[in-house]
Amino acid sequence: MSKILQLFKIKDLRNKILMVAFLLLCFRALAAIPIPSVDALKLSEFFSSNQLFGFLNIFSGGALDNLSIVMLGVAPYITATIIMQLLTMIFPALKAMYYEEGAAGRAKFNRYSRYLTVPLAVLQGYGFLNILISQGVISQLSLFDLIKNVVIITAGTMVMIWIGELISERKIGNGISLIIFAGIVSRLPASLRQAIIGYTPETLPTYLVFAVVAVLVIAGVVFINEGERKIPIAYAKRVRGMKMYGGASSYLPLKVNQAGVIPIIFALSILLFPQFIAQASAIFSHDLSLKLNDLAAYLFNNQYIYSLFYFLMVVLFTYFYTAVTFDPKEISKNLQRAGGFVAGVRPGDSTSTFLSKILSRLTLSGALFLGLIAILPNITRMVTGVAILTIGGTAILIVVSVALETIKQINSQLVVREYEEL
């Protein structure tokens, strides 16, 4: 409580928090403006029956369920960032830009990601509109109206990225993450209202079990998200002139959940791919498109097949993304250059092998955790039989991660100002 009061006593921090709150309100205002030709009743029915689009609504910041002008949210930018990170494995110049050129290289890398966001937003907007037209959610559009809506959706995505960057500049949390956070939190009142409406005395035990499980899930998310293995690092002593340098000890933190929520986004993209293929095949054959749509509907409407496939995809992508973002060989080289070494392990290839073994074991725990979190809504729906009571593990993971990261950034700013006062 004292820290909250301290935040609003410091004028600079108070202005930053108020500006972030204003920008998030602007996002929610834009998310309430729908694109033309939307049937609200059919849209509500479609989202209640299609859990895959319900998950995608999380990453749009809650702007997809009413087909707002910012319906894609920051999803195209996240996809573009993932693609750029994957390209670092293929192109050494991109890898050097991201890892070796410092802040200037990161800024250039992010600029290229924003350029890539535009065509991705166009493709995703066009694909979503075609799927929704085929489902009768949107009336058939003329070519001009289709192009106009795609342009509006793409522009909305770029505005969202701009708002996210304005938030990040205030250093009160990551802007893109806070936009998703705000979208999830904004849906809580409606979820609580539905739960209260669906309550009966007979469902009291189910509600109590649900509340206990929800608390345990939140505790598990915090535990895994903050969990890390600390590798002790020692630095050799060096004598320069009359002074001795080095000789200190530190540690290398390896997080249990090294990949964050990115593998879930990967898996969702793959799960969407069959539906986009089915829509695209209509250009060549209407009968083929209908058959592919029926096959995709059968696979994704079967809770057991869908959950198993989703779980396996998340586990595989966790290993894949961890391998992309954390290179033991590069870490080993950097330690060797700085005169550091792991106690009892030879520098160079031995250190790289040692880190790889530890990382693979940690990643197994993180991958299984993310897989369970991803299919948690399906599990609760199958166990309780109540559609309203679904613990959104992915949403909880995002909310907890963003809240912890934001608190850390705010605390760091408070500590800096305490030192300035001293």
In this structure, which amino acid lies at residue 321?
Answer: Y
Helices (H), 343-392: 349-384
Task: Please state which of the ranges 26-40, 65-79, 237-251, 327-341 shows the lowest mean pLDDT.
Answer: 237-251
State the pLDDT at residue 118.
92
Contact 90, 66 (CB under 8 A): no
What span, in angstroms and rounded, lies between the C-alpha atoms of 371 and 263? 9
Q: What share of the chain in percent tops pLDDT 70?
A: 76
pLDDT of residue 158: 92
With bands split at pLDDT 50, 70 and 90, how would you rate the model's confidence at 57? low
Superfamily of domain 1-186, CATH level 4: SecY subunit domain (1.10.3370.10)
Q: Which pLDDT value is given to residue 61?
A: 60
In tens, the pLDDT along 7-46 reads 777 777 888 888 888 998 988 888 888 877 666 666 666 6
Compute the 3-state secondary structure of the chain and give helix, strand, coil in percent, each to the nearest 5: 75, 5, 20
Fold match flag (1-186 vs 202-391):
yes
58: Cα separation from own chain's centroid: 9
Phi and psi at 47, nearest 5°, equal -70, -30
pLDDT score at 115? 92
> Token match 């097949």: residue?
305
pTM above 0.85, yes or no: no
Is 273 a residue whose pLDDT tops 70? no
The C-alpha angle with vertex 350 and arms to 349 and 351, in degrees rounded to 5, equals 90
Contact (Cβ atoms closer than 8 angstroms) between residue 151 and residue 365: no
Choice between 376 and 65, residue whose per-residue pLDDT is larger:
376
If we measure between CA atoms, which residue out of 380, 214, 367, 384 comes closest to residue 307?
380
CATH, range 202-391: 1.10.3370.10
The pairing of strands 249-255 and 238-240 is unpaired
Residue spans of the domains in the chain: they are 1-186, 202-391
